[in-house]
Amino acid sequence: MEKEKKLPVISDDEVMKRLEKELPNWTLEGRWIRRKFNTDGWPTTVMLVNAIGYLSEAAWHHPDLEVTWGKVWVKLRTHASGGITERDFALAKKFEDALLWRPEEGSAMEGTPNKWVR
């Protein structure tokens, strides 16, 4: 198995600036970026965790998760680098794009009437 690349760590000040601009629902906690996703219940929570797992495995970058009935907390950092790197920002953005995606109004897909993921 190949060793994880050691990427440069982004300073806390720069992380804060970038979160505000690029990922406003994420926070800096210790040496992690973190986001809570709310769901409408257990089935949606499990589907959300599976989607996170799929994207993470495809990216070969794995977050820490906390999972309860209607919530999933995602924590990202690059372990090999000992902090937050571009890899963490890239995967967080992929989560935002994929996990919060909804069909556009007027599209062929009507979308779920449930509250879903927020």
- The structural domains of the chain, with segments of one domain joined by +, span 12-99
- CATH (one of 3.30.1360.20, 3.30.540.10, 3.30.300.130, 2.30.110.10) for 12-99: 3.30.1360.20
Interval 5-50: pLDDT, tens: 689 999 999 999 999 999 999 999 999 999 999 999 999 999 999 9
Confidence check: pLDDT of 102 > 60: yes
Residue 22, CA atoms < 13 Å, CB-side half-sphere: 16
- Please, which pLDDT band fits residue 4 given cuts at 50, 70 and 90? low
Confidence check: pLDDT of 60 > 50: yes
Is the model's pTM score more than 0.85? yes
- The whole-number average pLDDT for the span 88-116 is 91
DSSP line for 23-89: -TT-EEETTEEEEEEE-SSHHHHHHHHHHHHHHHHHHT---EEEEETTEEEEEE-BTTTTB--HHHH
For residues 39 and 117, is the Cβ–Cβ distance under 8 A?
Answer: yes
Residue 3 is predicted with a pLDDT of 61
Interval 77-95: pLDDT, tens: 999 999 999 999 999 999 9
